[in-house]
Structure 1
Amino acid sequence: MAGIEALSPGADPDRPVNVVFVGAGAVGCFYASRLHHPAHNIHVSLIARSNYKVLAADGVKLQTHTFGDYTFRPHAVFPSVPAAAVNPNPSGAGPREWDYIIVTTKALPDRADDSALIAPLVGPRSCIVLIQNGVGVEQPYRARFPATPIISAVTVISAEQTSPGTVRQNRWTRIHLGPYSDSASFSSTAGAGTSSSSRSDQDATTGAISPSLAPLPPSPAGLQIAGSHRAALLTDWWTRHGLIRDVELGDEVALQTVRWHKLCINAAFNPSAVLSGGRGNADMARDPELREHLAGIMREIWEAAPRILGRGFPEYMASPEKILRSSERNVGSKPSMLLDWEAGRPMEVEVILGNPVRIARERGVEMPRLQTVYALVRSAQEARERGRGKL
């Protein structure tokens, strides 16, 4: 790797690692705060909207179960993508490209193309990271940026923005990372022969990872390699500097397996909370008929997984019954789709319900329970918006 520029924080004070989070909600602000380490030459900025003025003036006040209370002051806060694209370096030294563009907004492909939104930020050394719910969220980005490394990420965290600029983390910090090349087929051979640490050097004393960033051809293998060692860097930084203990790095198939397993929870509880009249997770899990309905959706996804992913869910992943027992204790919790419905916001209908139905159907797998709740929730949203004159 001699002669090849490496992204090694602290090695070159004139070449800091520039990271920008697109979306300054609770999840984005929490993970951004654990990644921002100027002393190690890692500089994290935020693109905010409604809370821009508060964040720009006072930073983010975090009240966390895991790390106590602290204030996160980003390297810079921008009111829009165009503002961040004009001058990522607020010191006035001129434009400097973003090494990582981390998207933490809600995935609403039926409303907007977020891949087009971030296009002004993407340069030849950029890596796109998607921390979003649902399945199939990566494909629009891969289509628009065929030669850019993409990392797909799934998080398990309970966090909320209690007021503009104040974030409370209640439980959990787990995040799974993996490369995304072009696994729309979710074949069992995706990621074969690619190690998460390939082409990376690791210091035996510090554990620091300094992978090569040599240009790679836009082939699935090359994109997997590039995405793998970019993901290895993030895992290293969040673990060593951010002190998050449960950052998990996997290959492409492993990450998509996590996405589909999380779908068992999201696709069951989210639409059912809306359709049942606003009942929370624990309330639904304790109702015999609703419990059977929730279990039916989970079993449907469980049985479809081998034909979609090329393998079933590993034994260590929670079964539908275990998920339901855990949900019984989640008193007071409302799924995100219900919160959006109650607030009159668009819901993540397509990535949580529509995409899995379509992906399964393309592989000859029908999911009638999931298709039913998808049709009903989408229709309810459309009917409400027609009543407001939006359609």
Structure 2
Amino acid sequence: MLGGGAIGGIFAWRLSLCKDVTVSIVCRSNYAQVRTGGYLINSAQFGHGVYRPWRVYQTVEDAAAAEGPFDYVIVALKALPNIYDSSERVAAAVDEGTMVVLFQNGIGIEEPFVRRFPRTPVVSTVSFISVKQEDNGVLKHGGFSMLASGLHSCPRGTHAQNAAKLQYLSEVFVSQGVSSIIEADIQPYRWQKHILNGSTNPVSVICAGASCQEMVRNEHCRALLEDVMAEIFVLGKKVTGKPFPGVDGIVDPQSATEYIGSIPVPVYTSMLVDSQCKRPMERDVILRNPIALAEKHGVDVPRMKALYAMVTMIEEGYRR
């Protein structure tokens, strides 16, 4: 597992509970805490626990030298193509027998991996989960976890064996209480999640700290969110040529904001947390890449363009 934050930590924990699976994890900012004390997890779905990974490394190179080659490399890094290339960071751990599984948010995350690893299967996975790292190695998880995965690319003639390999990984997650499905075309699920990611993330930054529930309770902010979501619905259907799957009953902007309002505990977006900590935000995969697709497909997305301009200026302001 590359990336030991909230997403990486919670899913590494679930995988590690299978007796036939060994999971090592590469951590960055929380390395010292996870290395010495593991993860302290408070999960509404799975209960309380302490998860001590099999091995914890500071770098991919250390992990590859000690244990490689790997059957699976799960990438749970933040997708920040304007800062670094995630595919380059994972390269030391990947060979032709490795399946690269992307647990990253956003649109267009797969292509750097396909270009760098043409002989390696690349899986795109969309996670529907509410989990936060409240402090280094301290995870708070809600009552739901779902994964939707699909083979984005694989070497010619290897589809059957790689489909079976992905099926095994999915079954391990299911055996440990995580809902996991495999789709021939995963992109409608990625756009489904983007309905919330592409709207609440940038708007929360501009709202200077509001929770998602606070935003939908304000009539003006709710209207803005629904207008941005409407752009995402139109664009996603144009790009994929398919309807969205309707996860969590989200079938239009109104049902999306109703869903947000029904969540019982305050939800703060990852982009907001990054902004508050003055870290780079996932603005490119959340906004820039979809905007580029909109221009390619002739779809008008003025609100997304405005949000991108504003969050870019906010980030540049605190990084100067």
TM-score band, normalised by shorter chain: over 0.9
Is there any run of 5+ residues in structure 1 with no aligned partner, and where?
Answer: 1-20, 89-95, 182-215, 387-391
Could you tell me how far 1:227 is from its partner in structure 2?
A: 4.4
User: Aligned partners of 1:38 and 1:273: how far apart in 2?
Assistant: 38
User: Aligned partners of 1:156 and 1:78: how far apart in 2?
Assistant: 27
The TM-score normalised by the length of structure 2 is 0.93
| 1:321 aligns to 2:254 (yes or no) | yes
Could you tell me how far 1:370 is from its partner in structure 2?
A: 1.1
Mapping for residues 158-177 of structure 1, pairs under 5 Å? 158-177=130-149
- Give deviations 1:73-124, integer Å, cap 9, x for gaps: 2221111111112111xxxxxxx41110001111101000110111110012
Mapping for residues 122-161 of structure 1, pairs under 5 Å? 122-161=94-133
Could you tell me how far 1:352 is from its partner in structure 2?
A: 0.6
User: Aligned partners of 1:39 and 1:314: how far apart in 2?
Assistant: 33
Percentage of matched positions with identical amino acids? 32
Could you tell me how far 1:166 is from its partner in structure 2?
A: 2.5
User: Aligned partners of 2:159 and 2:231: how far apart in 1?
Assistant: 30
Could you tell me how far 1:162 is from its partner in structure 2?
A: 2.7
The match for 2:23 is 44
Match of 1:85 among 64, 74, 79: 64
Counterpart residue type for residue 165 of structure 1: G
Match of 2:209 among 261, 275, 278: 278
- Give deviations 1:285-335, integer Å, cap 9, x for gaps: 111121111111111111222321012224665121111112223453221
Match of 2:287 among 353, 357, 362: 353
Match of 1:363 among 285, 297, 308: 297
Contact 1:46–1:76 (CA<8 Å) still a contact in 2?
yes
The TM-score normalised by the length of structure 1 is 0.77
The match for 1:70 is 49
User: Aligned partners of 2:253 and 2:262: how far apart in 1?
Assistant: 15
Q: How many residues align?
A: 317
CA RMSD of aligned residues (A): 1.9
For the structure 1 residues 146 and 226, does the alpha-carbon distance in structure 2 shift closer, same or farther, using more than 3 Å as the test?
farther
User: Aligned partners of 1:350 and 1:177: how far apart in 2?
Assistant: 22
For the structure 1 residues 37 and 339, does the alpha-carbon distance in structure 2 shift closer, same or farther, using more than 3 Å as the test?
closer
User: Aligned partners of 1:315 and 1:32: how far apart in 2?
Assistant: 27
The match for 1:338 is 272
For the structure 1 residues 315 and 163, does the alpha-carbon distance in structure 2 shift closer, same or farther, using more than 3 Å as the test?
closer
Match of 1:55 among 19, 31, 34: 34
User: Aligned partners of 2:134 and 2:207: how far apart in 1?
Assistant: 26
User: Aligned partners of 1:235 and 1:348: how far apart in 2?
Assistant: 27
Mapping for residues 175-324 of structure 1, pairs under 5 Å? 175-181=147-153, 218-219=155-156, 222=157, 224-240=159-175, 242-244=176-178, 246-251=179-184, 253=185, 255-314=186-245, 317-318=249-250, 319-324=252-257
SS at match of 1:168: strand
Contact 2:192–2:245 (CA<8 Å) still a contact in 1?
no
User: Aligned partners of 2:33 and 2:311: how far apart in 1?
Assistant: 35
The match for 1:191 is none
Contact 2:192–2:246 (CA<8 Å) still a contact in 1?
no
User: Aligned partners of 2:219 and 2:33: how far apart in 1?
Assistant: 45
